[in-house]
Structures are given as structure tokens and as C-alpha cells.
Structure 1
Amino acid sequence: MRRLLRSSLPHLAAGRASYNDSSRVRRHLLSRIYQPGNLWKENSPELQAKPNDPSSKSQRLMYKAGLIRPSSPGCFHYLPHAVRSMEKLVRIIDGVMQDIGGQKIDMATLCSAALWRQSGRWDLVGKELLCLLDRHEQEYCLGPTHEESVTSLVATEGGISYKQLPLLLYQVTRKFRDEKRPCFGLLRGREFYMKDMYTFDISEEAAHQTYNHVCEAYAAIFRTLGLRHVKVQADTGNIGGKMSHEFHLPAAIGEDRLLLCRSCDFAANVETLPPDQKTCPCCNGKLEESKGIEIGHSFYLGTKYSHIFNAVCHSDHNKPLVAEMGCYGIGVSRLLAASIEVLSTEEDIHWPSLIAPYQVCLIPPKKGSKEMGAAALAEDLHDSVCAVPHLGNEVLVDDRDHLTIGKRVREAHMMGYPYVIVIGKKALERPPLFEVRNHRTGQVQFLSKEGVLGLVRDIRVI
């Protein structure tokens, strides 16, 4: 199959520029994708947890699938499949944030110690900050969050006009936190991706409305991904403010203890309630304990930072009023891993379908087998599926034709591609039929080319 692909597409050998030729079908070939081979081996050192070092299902699967490689404790390299999924996840988040008026920015990673001292957090956060000193004896930290930076930015620029309110500024960047004991792969690391949003309003009432809108948007993101989540009241911690909520995916491996009321929608992190609290403070119903993986956090800050840095909003009468603020975070890389943690089996990854690295994995015949007579049909089916407008970049060909179809199918299921299409024995029949495997449901169908195209047209993509 690989030879056929190359002979029918000689531009593949001509160099990278050929991929910009819009008149040709771009082929994603598994043999060309960087996936270090030792990650497929069960006895690979990367798959073995150190003694007394906790590991998680998502960590094991992401190592095994070649999605991530460890760099140093709590830090990881993201490999091509993981990057594709992360980019899709960020596109979902971008869409929802911009639907509620969010404007995307990108702030400096190096945060001035002077700003953090001005807010009082340099000493408060303390050892969790990754700090450095430059050649001019100036102190910085690698930003774990950007309340000081964004508030100082708004204040320095003279504040915000009422015409711009509410102002919602957000970014998706790497963050840094010196975790004492990083573990569980991307679930608790020292370097991670986060979406952080900072909002500015002219009154407390308006700030509460914005707070509710952003929380609703967070819920929409998790629903879009098909993830069951809970929103719980939470401690404001070292970020501070007047109100806080966390968003969790219920999971046995979760490090947070939650109390949920089964009679109403009350839910809380245990750290916000008295130790002996057994009944719901809203309806007096029984509280049940659960564990959760925190994937999002919202804070109503009030004027905690805006007062310190003199960030103001100007009314329609040009009266300066200290801005009412909120801040909101989604752990993007943690959400990626947490979704694998809660959806997958012990052996196979199950993605939220919208963020799977590829939607379709096409498995052509093994080299030298009888099924090689259907190689031309595989070529034609690939081009036809890629011609479906939204799927042109979502089809992966497992062109490792020295491997059996069975081995490639097993690896495709381990990788979690939503649809696996096999060109096997039935492709030699008249009419030819193709084996289509739905990874989520386990359903296997034998479909004609027209049936395959009818099915894939309904696949949703980002």
C-alpha cells in the first residue's frame, strides 16, 4: 500500500512544499508520524512507575500511545498526536470564550516580582513559584497565573471605557507551578497549559452577571466534550476574592474530596464545610462524598487587585470607578488527560470524539496478502472520504503494510480513533464491502463505498 501511495502521489517524495498544493489530496501516513517505537512496548521504562510513585490510567495510556514523553519531573514533551488533540481542544475553548465576548491576548511568561510583592502574593504563594534572577539582579517568576499582570496592564493604559464593558480578556498559555510531588502525568505537573480569563465590570451586580455567564460557558464546554462534570463551591485560596467555584470530573483517582447533595444541586469541596457537616445546608438532604479531578476554577475577585493597582472603569459621565473583577481558569492539558482518565478502558483510549487526533483510521491490506488485490479500492476510498469537505484533514492511513490487519486494528483501537475502516477480504467481493468499526460503541458494519461515505458525512469535527 505504501508503494502504491507513493507511486500514485509522486509529490510526496518531492518535499514539504508539495503539501501546499491544494489540487492534491494530502495524505496522513502513520509511518511518517513521529511516534517513538519503544512506547508501544509494555516493558518500556517510560511505562513503569517508580516504587511508591503513583500513576494513573491516563498517564499509562498516554505514554503507551506515544502522546507524551517525560522531560523532567512534572514536565512533558507533547508529541504529534497529542498536539493535534490539544489544538482541537483549544479551538473549542476559543469558540465558546469568544461567543461570550472574550478577547484573546497573550501575556508575558516572565512576571515581575515587584508586581507580585505589590499584591502581597510573592510571599503568600512562596515555594510554589518558580523564581529566577536575571543578570541585572531583577527578580521574576514564571507565571502560574496572571492577575497582577493583567490588572497592571489595564491600569497602566488608563482604565476601561464603559463602552468596552464587560471586558473579558483571556489567553491559553503554558503555566508553571513548583509542585512538591508532581504525579499522574498531565493531571498534576509543574508545567502545563491553562486557559485563564480576567473580567472587568463597573459594578458588583454586573460582575455577578459576568461570573454566571462564564460559569455557564464552562459548563457548555464540558457538555460539548460529552463529559459529566460537577460544579462545587470552593475555597478562594491564595488567589483570593469573595466567591469561588470549582469544576470537577468525578473520578476515583481524583485528589479533591467533594460532598454532593442528591436531593438538590448543592455541591461543595469538603474544605469549605465544617468537618462534621453531614447534611445539605440548602435542603437538609444527605450529603454523599465523591472524589473529583479539578478541571476548571472561577473566582469573583471584587476589587482585591483593581484597588491595589488602581484599575478603573469610566462611567458614561467619565467618572472613574474601581473595577470589579473576576478570574477563571481551565487546565487545558489537565482536561485532555482527565477526559482520557474518565472515558477510557484500561487498554484503550476513548477520546471525547471531537478532539480525537484523527476521526478516521484507514487500514489497507497487508503486503503480499490476497487482499492486496483491493489496494486500488483502498486508494479510491481514501480519496473519496477525504473529499468530504470537513474530513480532508481527518483521515489517517496506517500504511505499515508489513504488519497484519489484526495488529493494526488493535493499535488503532488503543489509540482511540473514533472510526476504523478496514480494507479486508470482503473488499474483494462484488460489490466490494468495507469493514467499519465504531470505537465508541464497538459496532462493526460491512458497508459499500456509498454506505461508508454516508456514515462519515455525519462525523462532527472542530
Structure 2
Amino acid sequence: MRRLLRSSLLYSVASRTFYNDTSRVRRLLLSKFYQPGNLWKENSPKIQAKSNEPSSKSQRLMYKAGLIRPTSPGCFHYLPHTVRSMEKLIRLIDRAMQEIGGQKIDMVTLCSAELWRQSGRWDLVGKELLRLMDRHNQEYCLGPTHEELVTNLVATEGGISYKQLPLLLYQITRKFRDEQKPCFGLLRGREFYMKDMYSFDLTEEAAYQTYHNVCDAYANIFHTLGLKHVKVQADTGNIGGKMSHEFHLPASIGEDKLLVCRSCDFAANVETLHPDEKNCPSCKGELSESKGIEIGHTFYLGTKYSHVFNAVCHDVQNKPVVAEMGCYGIGVSRLLAASIEILSTEEDIHWPNLIAPYQLCLIPPKKGSKEMAAALVAEELYDSIVTIPHMSNEAVLDDRDHLTIGKRVMEARMMGYPYVIVIGKKALESPPMFEVRNHRTGEVQFLSKEGVLSFIQGVRVI
């Protein structure tokens, strides 16, 4: 052990990364990553959807990049890069929900059938519920959504004081739905991540204001990610309520048909309009049809659930009033896959930059090449980059120097790192110059070490 401590390099078995003894810089080495299906790895499995299952661009790219692996229809392992991206997306959503007063909770997955029967949804939802029975012959379902549980929670605690209003409780957890035909990877699965929020207000007017605040927060989330979305009027379905809107990313693979007015801001899911309706009900303008991937859904519930479970708000005179409610969902794993679907090419992933697993991939020279002398320069540049506070865990070093620079650049493009820095022959010049590639724009520029560090300072992270 003492010998190890005296050596110039310390190897951390726990993190599988190297530490420099003098600078204590943590290097994220690509050779250590668990990334099955790597393009240049020998004996990589060729994973494809079954020939009778419809697939999507995002599904194919996520398989190819080693981001997901299937276990059974509609169920997937999320591998390291995907987990990092999901964690960033969740941080972004957390921030947006808490800015409007959301309080994060974590409710049970195993939901009692008794509560679902009380609301009438046990039979209404039907076969989409994944149901099970315990050893005491008690029935449960794996929660697809939690209106019954959150309303019952509030009701059994005696209601809510007007001083706490509006009360917005939300969670981001795995949900379950027994999809008849799961397909398109994470776009339509049986097990998925969802953000579900539930609001409680004293009056209908206040509830509508809360509803619009949440819708605005959703729009801000999608705008921050650089995703163009459409908000459309929607059917309340088996969740029920007085009003509903869906948020869609326009895409040819989308399973929802949308009608969008060319003259005003009206838009609706086609299922909410009369089949032969061709003109906008608001301005009589022409309606155009498009397809969309649903990434969010909001409902103004009124007293549908609060009346059943006697969830009340107490006003200034301490008088109990049946709560006015709303519920609001974002398909988190679907949003991740949908963003890949609409931003990527057929060969290369393009993430929304903020939620890319890593912001930067640095590629040193190939072992035995003419540029090999610049390997030390590459390590020094990497160590300088990760000492920038916001980049400490955002840069990977592609140390697989048995591969050519070209092969590693091709893989970096496929993985979708927003920025790639190549250490080639110009790194041997005086001063050394480094090739900086912007994956989104395709721009390539040569910068000095100081120029690279200045450039990196402007990279946004979350």
C-alpha cells in the first residue's frame, strides 16, 4: 500500500479512474466506461428490434450507442450515459417545478385497488393497469399515475390551510402501463419515468391560475432544451376533469394527429374535434394536420377526486371547502428519447446540449503515430479543462490510443458529445494548436490552450 501511495499515479478501484499524484485531477477515461455495443469493440452484439416490431431513429441510435438495452417488450435497462442524461433532465425539471412552488415527494409504486375502486378507475382504465395480488389476496396495481393516492394523502391528514395554498406536490418516479403494443424504444414503453404534479386550491379561479403557471413552466422547460413544441387542446380521457392540454414535439413518427390553425394560436388533438372539421373553431382559419410525440399533459380536474376522497382546503374562517385540483405530467424518459428522435441525424445522436451525458470528449493521438509526442500535451490540456469548476465532471478522455483519431472522432460524433477536441499534428507546433469541433453546427476551429480554456468557460451545464 505504501508503494502505491508513493507512486506518481494512484489508481482508484472504486471509481475506475486515474488520479495524478501532484494535481489530484480526476480523469474520466473512456476505456473504463461500461458501454456495450461500442463501435470498435470486438464481438459487440448486434441488437435490433424484432422484425415485426416498428422501430424508430431514437431507438436504433440508443441501441447502437450502448445507451439502453431491452429486457422484455417495453422495458429497458438504462446504461451509464443515459442515466447521466436523465439525471440532468430531472435537475432541470426539479428547478422549474420548485420555481413555481412545487414540493417534491415520493409516493408508493404499489397502489391499493381499494382507492382505485373508490375513484371508479379500477374498471375504467381496464387492461392498461398492471395488476397483482399479494399473499393475503389483496389487489394492487403498479402505479401509472397517482391522483387517488395523493388526494387520499391530503384528505387523511385533515386537509390544507389557506396559508399553504396553492399546494403543489410532485414526484419523478418509474411508472407502469400495460401497453398492448410497446414500440419505438423509450417512446412507448411499459415501464417509464414520469414527472407527475398535483395541485390543490381553494377556488376555481385560483386553480386556473395555478394551471396556467404550470403550463408556462412546461413551455420554459422545452424552450430551455431548445425544443420547438406545440400546446394543443386535448381529451381528458380516463383521468377526467374540466380541461386538458397536451404538449407535443412535431415529428413524422408521432402517433398523435394534431390540427394547427395557420391564422391564430389554436391547436388541438384531432380526437377532440368533429371528424369533418376543416376550419378553426376560434377564427375560422384553415387547419393543417401534423403529427406529434406527446411529451407532457396537463389536466384541470376540478373536484373530481377531492369530492370522492373528501380532500378539503380550509379558508380564512377555517371553513372546509372541497379542493379544486389539477394534475400535470411530463414523460421524462419519453422526452429524452423524443429529443434524440427530432434532433439527430440517421447516423449521429444530437442531444439538447444541456442534457448531453458529457459536454466534451478529448481525443489524443494514436499510439505509434507521428503525433504521439503530443500525448503528454493532451493530458495536460485535459487536466486544465477539468480544473474549471463547472467542467470537473463534464469531460471524458478517449484514451483508447490503439484506435486511429478518425475512428474515435466518428464514434464521438455518433455519441453526440457537444464538443470534441482533437490533439493532432498541430499540437506539435509552437504554440500548440488544438482542433475544436462543435457537433451541433459542424464548425471546426483551431485554438491555443488559452483559447480552448476561454472557449470552455462559455459552455453551459446544469
TM-score (norm 1): 0.96
- 1:33 deviation in Å? 0.7
> Structure 1 counterpart of 2:252, which letter?
A
Where do 1:35-54 residues align within 5 Å?
35-37=35-37, 47-54=47-54
The 5 Å alignment of 1:260-279 reads: 260-279=260-279
Which residue matches 1:139?
A: 139
Q: Using the alignment, how far apart are the partners of 1:209 and 1:301 within structure 2?
A: 13
Aligned-pair CA distance for 1:47: 3.8
How far is 1:46 from its partner? 5.1
Q: Deviations over 1:369-390 (max 9, x none)?
A: 1211111111110111111111
1:225 is aligned to: 225
Structure 2 match to 1:88: 88
CA contact (8 A) 2:38 2:65 kept: no
Tell me: CA distance 1:407–1:120, structure 2 relative to 1, closer, same or farther (3 Å): same
Deviations 1:335-362 (A, max 9, x none): 0000000000000000000000100100
Aligned to 1:287: 287
Give runs of aligned pairs for residues 27-176 of structure 1, distance below 5 A.
27-37=27-37, 47-176=47-176
Separation (CA, whole Å) in 1 of partners of 2:89 and 2:14 = 30
Counterpart position of 1:251: 251
Deviations 1:255-282 (A, max 9, x none): 0000000100000000000000000011
Q: Which residue of 2 aligns with 1:10?
A: 9
Q: Equivalent residue for 1:198?
A: 198
1:182 equivalent in structure 2:
182
Root mean square deviation, CA, Å: 2.0
In the alignment, which residue of structure 2 is the partner of 1:397?
A: 397
- Aligned equivalent of 2:369: 369
CA distance in 2: counterparts of 1:378 and 1:8, whole angstroms = 21
What is the letter of the counterpart of residue 377 of structure 2?
Answer: L
Deviation string 1:56-75 (CA, Å, 9 cap, x unpaired) is: 00000000000000011000
Contact map agreement 2:249 2:292 (CA 8 A) in 1: yes
Indicate if the aligned counterparts of 2:10 and 2:19 stay in contact, CA closer than 8 A: no
Judging changes above 3 Å, is the alpha-carbon distance between structure 1 residues 427 and 200 closer, same or farther for their aligned structure 2 residues? same
Structure 1 contact 315–321 (Cα < 8 Å) conserved: yes
Kindly indicate whether the alpha-carbon contact (under 8 Å) linking 2:422 and 2:435 is maintained by their aligned counterparts in 1: yes
Q: Which deviations, in whole Å up to 9, do the C-alpha atoms of 1:105-140 show, x marking residues without a partner? A: 000000000000000000000100000100111110
Cα-to-partner distance string for 1:78-128 (whole Å, 9 max, x where unaligned) = 000000000000000000000000000000000000000000000000100
Conservation of the 8 A alpha-carbon contact between 1:421 and 1:437? yes
Report the equivalent of 2:3.
Answer: none
Structure 1, 371-380 or 103-112: larger mean CA deviation: 371-380
Q: Equivalent residue for 1:352?
A: 352
How far, CA to CA, are the matches of 2:206 and 2:88 in structure 1?
A: 32
Distance 2:65 2:300 in 1: 40
Secondary structure of residue in 2 paired with 1:278: coil
User: What is the CA distance between 1:301 and its match in structure 2?
Assistant: 0.2
Corresponding residue of 1:418: 418
- Code of the residue aligned with 1:438 in structure 2: it is N
Alpha-carbon distance, 1:308 to partner: 0.2
Residue 380 to residue 90, structure 1, CA distance change in 2 (3 Å): same
Secondary structure (helix, strand or coil) at the match of 1:141 reads strand
Identity of aligned residues (%): 80
Alignment deviations for residues 36-65 of structure 1 (CA, whole Å, 9 cap, x no partner): 146768997654332231100000000000
2:177 partner amino acid: R
TM-score with structure 2 setting the length: 0.96
- Asked if structure 1 preserves the Cα contact closer than 8 Å seen for 2:374 and 2:427, the reply is yes
* Matching residue's letter, 1:252: S
User: Residues 147-193 of structure 1, C-alpha deviation per residue, up to 9 Å, x if partnerless?
Assistant: 00000000000000001000000000000000000000000000000
How many angstroms apart in 2 are the aligned matches of 1:81 and 1:205?
44
Which residue identity is paired with 1:207? A
Give the Å deviation of 1:13. Answer: 4.5
Equivalent AA in structure 1 for residue 458 of structure 2: D
Q: CA separation in 2, counterparts of 1:330 and 1:57?
A: 21
1:12 alignment partner AA: Y
> Partners of 1:293 and 1:42 in 2: how far apart?
36
State the secondary structure of the residue aligned to 2:10: helix
CA contact (8 A) 2:9 2:20 kept: no
Structure 1 gap segments, 5+ residues each: 1-6
Change (3 A) 1:159 1:17: farther
SS in 2 for 1:289: strand
CA distance in 1, matches of 2:62, 2:8: 33
Counterpart amino acid of residue 25 in structure 2: V
Secondary structure in 1 matching 2:149: helix
CA distance in structure 1 between the aligned counterparts of 2:20 and 2:172, rounded to whole angstroms: 31
The residue type equivalent to 2:131 in the other structure is C
- Residue 27 of structure 1 deviates from its aligned partner by 1.3
CA contact 1:306–1:312 (8 Å) conserved in 2:
yes
- In structure 1, give the amino acid aligned to 2:78: Y
Tell me what 1:3 maps to: none
Kept in 2, the 8 Å contact 1:40–1:65? The answer is no
- For residue 70 of structure 1, what is the amino acid of its counterpart? P
Match for 1:81: what amino acid?
H
Aligned partner of 1:260: which letter?
V
Structure 1: distance between partners of 2:167 and 2:361: 43
- For 1:59 and 1:383, the matched residues in 2 are separated by 35
Contact 2:12–2:19 at 8 Å: present in 1 too? no
Q: Is the Cα–Cα contact under 8 Å of residues 119 and 148 in structure 1 kept in the other structure?
A: yes
Gaps of 5+ in 2: 1-5
The 1:179–1:424 alpha-carbon spacing in structure 2 relative to 1, beyond 3 Å, is: same
